[in-house]
Amino acid sequence: MGINRRNFLKTLGVVGGTLTVGKSFGAPDSIKKSDTEFSGILYDSTLCGGCQSCEIVCADQYGFPYPDDEPVPGVKRELIETRRVVVNCFNTSKGEQYMRKACNHCNNPACASACLTKAMLKTDEGPVIWREDKCMGCRSCMIACPFDVPKFDYNSPNPKIQKCRMCFELLQEGRQPVCVENCPAEALLFGKRRDLIEIAKARIFAEPEKYNHTIYGEHEVGGTGVIYLASVPFEELGFRNDLGTVSYPEFNKTFLYSVPAVLILWPAFLLGLHSASVERKLNKQQKEEES
Amino acid sequence: MNREQHTGFLKFITYELKPKGKILTPFNVISIITILAAIVILAIRFTSGLGSVVHASQERPWGLWINFNVITGVAFAGGAFVVTFMVYILGLEKYRPIVRATVLYALLAYIFYAGALLLDLGRPWKVINPIIGNSFGISSVLFLVAWHFILYMGSLFIEFCPTITEWASLKRQRIFFASLTLAVVIFGIALSTLHQSGLGALFLMAKPKIHPLWYSEFIPILFFISSIFAGLSLVIVLETIGQRVFKDNMSFLHKSSHRYIMLSLARICTVSMFVYFFMTVLVFLHGKNYTYINSPWGYWYLVEVLGFVLLPCMFFLYGYRRRNIQIVRIAAALTIIGIILNRLNISTIAFQWYDRSVHFPTWMEIVVSFAVIFVQILVFRWIVRRMPVYAESPSWVTGEKQNKSFTLKDKSFTLNNKRRKKWKVSTK
């Protein structure tokens, strides 16, 4: 079976189509089309007094029970299905320091890329939100999230995924997240992410002895919406230092890009193989009949 | 269809629905009790939430049902795409006797094991979202896997349709479905390649959570290669059991070719396992993973790779060369344990490995897991006892074929006249 011009052109078209269309199909959008800038939150650990105001107003806003425990050094309180933000106390080289944990609202979030129903959504404004009407409860966001933020309500017949949504609805009204609005120490600051990074840098520059000279979240996992300042290295405050600076959906990219190519090229190859084996079989049969 | 035929068909179905063989066998008793218990447990699960039944863990969100039934179970269904590839694409007729049983096993595995996914979903009534509507998370690996499961189930069903039509004596429909076989086989192989590797790709984003000995960017490729010998090992075990349990339903051809097929499969297992082992070693060296080897995790890793990959690979080789079918069976059993270990290591045991708390499934989780397997076995047995899976096709099928001048045992090899002329192939 020779290859004639027509077949050649057909194959060329299919391969070319795969190579060009393949990229725009099935891969996460790494370039944002909208010109809205991401909003974010700057948390300055050196200002935080561990008063739990953020925990209380968050519980109030979303109808969760108030926290019944306080941040104690050495005890790590975790995010749970009824707590979207938590403040912990750590014994560090510079004494007791507080650190807040909630969703970091990654620029390119793993949870949203793992979600098969787009229930987990990175909004154009910056917050990563969970949408009840889409979610089927598969919990792959929990597998993917490098910070273990999404929590699943195991004890409900109608379970929800709980995580901070940066008070998305309030932002739409022009307000700020409740935790930022109600922080008495002004350890939390809401704004455009780009501005917040500049503010953070300015603070480090103004008081170089006070701060650890890294902004956690500037580059980690491809950049996060919530960025952190602290006086000590972040490992001492319960952060992982092995998460890398690549955004997590990148790890899937090679696999997802290969999907359309495999779906088109593999059947073509198999059909060819089949034709070859049939031909061989026919020849064999012919020979047997002749002899 | 007139009324008489209609009542005849109903009678046929009701007759076939009745159980054949002894009812109170030990296997039946155990499996029925397990299934009944599972139904009660699932009733609790759907009324009071997952946490009332399973070991609820925020750190390891996927429990036994997903990690064992779905991720491990589907690996064992890989036999179907390998065997159909050999028979329909490469035209290796010697494997033809095992095609139907393998396809049936895979079809049921996908129905029940992918079905186990529904049990574990927190909000299963939303399962329709990724299938219809505007909620396509196309950047999600799970989206791809879910779609491929559905499409592949359809492909396997069409592949199995000729058997069903032979059982129900639907002559015209048989011709139709048989003519689709080649197309769905090719489609099915492409789907299998992607979703077997896709199951591994589910864990690609869990990079910081899986122990570095098990995590690599090659997980999808390793999952795909291991599904080849996982599936074939399961075929070996399945055929071994089938030879004993279904010997009354088995055609002479199937019985007599058993030994030969098992040994040939052993050879393929040897090669694919060696490729897998070689890739594992490459990943191991490339990732400089030898720094982790002198630790409990390292020893556990060695148990998996040496004890349940290299050792069964050697057993397969030895069994094949000595023509010793017992050793091949032992090798297949070891391989199956090895695959279970590998999948559970990645998804559960070495997942969140730095977390010291012990994660053990509850007894209720285990009961449901086994119930899913028992249901699959019972349905498999019901079908095998009735349809020509192991048995010979009815005479009207073989007779119909002999009338044609050109036969190669299956419709898919019947070339149409146009092609024959084009290739100048004589059929006489």
Smallest Cβ–Cβ distance between A157 and the set B46, B144, B209 belongs to: B46
Chain A residue numbers with beta carbons less than 8 Å from the beta carbon of B418 are none
- Convert the pLDDT of each residue in B155-198 to its tens digit: 999 999 999 999 888 888 888 999 999 999 999 999 999 999 99
- In angstroms, what separates the C-alpha of B155 from chain A's closest C-alpha? 14
The first and second tokens of residue A281, run together, are 């079989």
Nearest CA in chain B to A157: B49
CA of B415: which chain A residue's CA is closest?
A: A278
Element (DSSP H or E) covering residue A98? strand A95-101
Residue A31 is predicted with a pLDDT of: 53
Q: Nearest by CB to B138, which of A26, A80, A266?
A: A26
Place of tokens 């909630």: A102
Q: Between chains, do A159 and B123 touch, taking CB under 8 Å as contact?
A: yes
Q: Can you give the pLDDT at residue A10?
A: 63
Does the distance separating the beta carbons of A156 and B135 come in below 8 Å? no
Lowest mean pLDDT among A13-17, A217-221, B408-412: B408-412
For A251-290, write each residue's pLDDT tens digit: 998 899 999 999 999 999 999 999 998 888 888 888 888 8
| Chain A residues in contact with B122 (beta carbon < 8 A) | 135-139, 152-153, 159
CB B348 within 8 A of CB B76: no
Cβ separation B140–A115 shorter than 8 A: yes
Average pLDDT over residues B70-90: 94
Of the pLDDT bands very low, low, confident and very high (cuts 50, 70, 90), residue A241 is confident
Q: What percent of chain B has pLDDT over 70?
A: 91
Position A242 in a domain: yes
State residue B228's pLDDT score: 96
CATH number at residue A179: 3.30.70.20
Cβ A251–B48 below 8 Å, yes or no? no
Task: Strand A226-229: give its sheet, edge to edge.
Answer: A188-192, A39-44, A226-229
The pLDDT mean for chain A works out to 88
Q: What is the pLDDT of residue A33?
A: 58
Whole-number pLDDT of residue A12: 61
Q: Which contiguous run of DSSP H or E holds residue B198? A: helix B171-201
Structure tokens at B378: 């019972």
Contacts (Cβ under 8 Å, ≥6 apart) of A187 = A43, A44, A45, A47, A48, A49, A100
A26-30, B144-148, B156-160, B381-385 — which is least confidently predicted? A26-30
List the one residue out of B213, B212, B214, B235 whose CA is nearest residue B223.
B214
pLDDT-based confidence at residue B8 (cuts at 50, 70, 90):
confident
pLDDT classification of B288: cutoffs 50, 70, 90: confident
Rounded CA gap, A187 and B149, in Å? 49
Q: What's the pLDDT band for B401 if we cut at 50, 70, 90?
A: low
pLDDT of residue A34: 61
Q: Is the pLDDT of residue B285 over 70?
A: yes
Q: Which residues of A touch B187 (CB under 8 A)?
A: 267
Mean pLDDT (chain B) is 87
Q: Which of A224-238, B15-29, B177-191, B371-385 has the lowest mean pLDDT?
A: B15-29
| pLDDT level of residue B426 (50, 70, 90 thresholds) | very low
- Residue A247 CB coordination number (10 Å): 21
- Spell out the CATH class of B30-263+359-414: mainly alpha
Vertex A162, ends A161 and A166: CA angle to 5°?
Answer: 125
Least confident of A222-226, B110-114, B186-190, B227-231: B110-114
Q: Which residues of A touch B198 (CB under 8 A)?
A: 255
Å between B5 CA and nearest CA of chain A: 40
CB contact under 8 A, A143 and B61: yes
Band of residue B420 on the pLDDT scale cut at 50, 70, 90 = very low
Tell me whether residue A173 is in a domain: yes
Which 3 state secondary structure label does DSSP give A141? Answer: helix
Half-sphere exposure of B166 (CA within 13 A, CB side): 24
Give the model confidence (pLDDT) of A144-200 as tens digits. 999 999 999 998 889 999 999 999 999 999 999 999 999 999 999 999 999 999 999
pLDDT at B414 over 60: no
Asked whether residue B407 carries a pLDDT value surpassing 60, the answer given is no
Which site among B60, B121, B123 would you substitute to test the A interface, given the most A Cβ atoms closer than 10 Å to its Cβ?
B123
pLDDT at B405: 38
User: What pLDDT sits at residue B411?
Assistant: 41
Least confident residue range of A7-16, B54-63, B91-100? A7-16
- Closest Cβ–Cβ partner in A154, A259, A289 for B194: A259
Nearest CA in chain B to A247: B205
pLDDT tens digit sequence for A85-124: 999 999 999 989 999 999 999 999 999 999 999 999 999 9
Pick from B50, B139, B149, B420 the residue to mutate for testing the A interface (most A CBs within 10 Å).
B139
Burial of A245 per CB tally in 10 Å (0-12, 13-18, 19+)? exposed
pLDDT at A29: 52
Residue A245 lies in a domain: yes
Asked if residue A255 belongs to a domain, the reply is: no
pLDDT at A25 over 60: no
Classify residue A274: in a domain, yes or no: no
Say if the Cβ atoms of B142 and A256 lie within 8 Å. no
Partner-chain contact B426 A286, CB within 8 Å: yes
């149409």: which residue's tokens?
Answer: B416
Mean pLDDT check: name the lowest of A22-36, A219-233, B345-359: A22-36
How many domains are there within chain A? 1
Crossing angle of the two packed helices B219-245 and B96-120, in degrees rounded to 10: 120
Q: Are B136 and A118 in contact (CB < 8 Å)?
A: yes
Cβ neighbours of A140 in B, within 8 Å: 140, 142, 202
Angle at A27 between CA A7 and CA B194, to 5 degrees: 65
Residue B66 pLDDT greater than 70, yes or no:
yes
Q: What is the pLDDT of residues B237-259, one digit of tens each?
A: 999 999 988 888 888 888 888 99
Find the range with the poorest average confidence among A5-14, A19-28, A174-183, A260-269. Answer: A19-28
Question: Given this model, what pLDDT does residue A123 score?
Answer: 93
- B contacts of A151 (beta carbons < 8 Å): 58
Q: Residue A242's closest chain B neighbor by CA?
A: B208
Q: In the prediction, which pLDDT does B413 show? A: 41
Tokens of A124: 């154009």
Beta-strand runs (E) in A123-236: 128-130, 151-152, 161-162, 188-192, 226-229
Chain B contact set for A243 (CB, 8 A): 208
User: How far does the CA of residue A89 sit from the closest CA of chain B (Å)?
Assistant: 20
Domain interval for residue A136: 39-250
Q: Please indicate whether, in this complex, the C-beta atoms of A113 and B142 are within 8 angstroms of each other.
A: no
Give the mutation candidate from B58, B70, B194, B416 for the A interface (greatest A CB count, under 10 A): B58
Residue B408 pLDDT level (bands cut at 50, 70, 90): very low
pLDDT at residue A3, rounded to an integer: 56
**Phi first, then psi: what are they for B36, rounded to 5°?**
-65, -45
State the average pLDDT over residues A216-224: 93
Q: How far is A203 from chain B (nearest CA, A)?
A: 31
Tell me whether residues B140 and A114 touch, CB distance under 8 A: yes
Other C-beta atoms lying within 10 Å of the C-beta of residue B20: 11
pLDDT of amino acid B423? 45
- Tens of pLDDT, residues B113-166: 888 888 999 898 888 888 887 778 888 999 999 999 999 999 999 999 999 999
Domain presence at residue A263: no
* Gap from A183 CA to chain B (nearest CA, Å): 28
pLDDT of residue A13: 62
CB-CB under 8 Å, B139 with A28: yes
Of A118, A249, A277, the CB nearest to B135: A118
Is the Cβ pair A159, B50 closer than 8 Å? yes
Q: ipTM score of the complex?
A: 0.84
Q: How confident is the model at residue B425 (pLDDT cuts 50, 70, 90)?
A: very low
Domain for residue A167, yes or no?
yes
Q: Which of B62, B89, B197 is the closest to A270 by Cβ? A: B89
A69 within some domain: yes
Cα nearest neighbour of B195 on chain A: A259
Contact B144 A256 (CB under 8 A): yes
Assessment of whether the complete model's pTM goes beyond 0.90: no
Question: Residue A28 to residues A31, A245, B133: CA-CA distances in angstroms?
Answer: 9, 17, 19
Q: Which residue from B126, B139, B413 is facing A26, i.e. has the nearest CB? A: B139
Nearest CB partner across the interface for A255, out of B121, B129, B141: B141
Query: Which among A140, A154, A262 has the least Cβ separation from residue B202?
Result: A140
A226-229 and A39-44 beta bridge pairing: parallel
Put simply, the answer to whether B54 touches A154 (Cβ < 8 Å) is yes
Which has more pLDDT, B40 or B427? B40
User: H helices of chain A, where?
Assistant: 5-24, 53-62, 110-114, 140-144, 168-172, 178-181, 193-206, 250-290
